[in-house]
Copies of this chain bind each other. A is one copy, B any other.
Amino acid sequence: MNIRVLSFGVSTDGYGAGPNQGLENPLGVRGPELMEWFFPTRVWRRMQGQDGGETGVDNGMAERGFERIGAWILGRNMFGPVRGPWPDESWKGWWGDEPPYHVPTFVLTHHARQPLEMAGGTVFHFVTDGIESALAQAKKAAGDRDVRIGGGVATVRQYLQAGLIDELHLAIRPVLMGSGESLWAGIDMHALGYEVAEHIAGERAMHVILRKR
């Protein structure tokens, strides 16, 4: 069982999201450029119920992102744009009736809410007592499979700084974001014990796998 960040797009200048995130721009302005290695893949097209798509290196890396995952953890902003207490139960994520998780998915929030069962096996659990509690619950749910920390940037940074992530697969994109959420600012990955274990040139990104030394 490993705690993993997978298929996480990062710009050449180190941003994992663009500026001005919100309902219109979940990943920030120009943020989708971080995932433009993913959108042409067969994996992505299947997620959209479409045929075709590329089957090269980038697609292979995207496939790895869904193997052996028994639970997900998402930050509140990755679940939705709602801030503060939940006004009602109407927001059910960015993904429609059938989210792409298909396993128990733990959402970090400061505001309690009943679990939400979606089509296709995804159940959103809302965790109000911190990242370590969310991880403990996710590990229990995942059994001998892995826990995937989905994001966003702030959530990945919190788990990194707590030393709780075993592996990160980053897709380093040849784009400049300029501003937004930096993955690296104020984080010393060497001091935290990470090194690049593997790197693979994809069609639209350099894939790097980071693990603890």
Q: State whether A12 and B172 are in contact (beta carbons under 8 Å apart), knowing that A188-B179, A190-B177, A190-B178 are contacts in the complex.
A: yes
Q: Which residues of B contact A187 (CB under 8 A)?
A: 13
Binary interface encoding of chain A residues 164-189 relative to chain B, with 1 for a CB under 8 A from any of its CBs, else 0:
00000010101111110011110111
A116 located at the interface, meaning its Cβ lies under 8 Å from any Cβ of chain B in the complex? no
Interface of A is mostly: loop
Q: How far is the CB of A22 from chain B (nearest CB, A)?
A: 18
A210 located at the interface, meaning its Cβ lies under 8 Å from any Cβ of chain B in the complex? yes
Are B201 and A176 in touch, CB under 8 angstroms? no
Selected from B12, B182, B184, B199, the residue in CB contact (under 8 A) with A174 is: B199
Selected from B174, B178, B184, B192, the residue in CB contact (under 8 A) with A14 is: B184
Q: How far is the CB of A27 from chain B (nearest CB, A)?
A: 15
Quick one: copies of this chain in the complex?
Answer: 2
Select from chain B the residue with minimum beta-carbon distance to A205. Answer: B206
Select from chain B the residue with minimum beta-carbon distance to A207. Answer: B174
Q: State whether A185 and B188 are in contact (beta carbons under 8 Å apart), knowing that A174-B208, A175-B196, A176-B196 are contacts in the complex.
A: no
A136 located at the interface, meaning its Cβ lies under 8 Å from any Cβ of chain B in the complex? no
**A85–B30 CA distance with the chains assembled, in angstroms:** 47
| Pairs of residues from A and B, 8 with the lowest C-beta to C-beta distance, nearest first | A178-B190, A201-B201, A174-B199, A206-B206, A178-B188, A176-B189, A13-B184, A174-B196
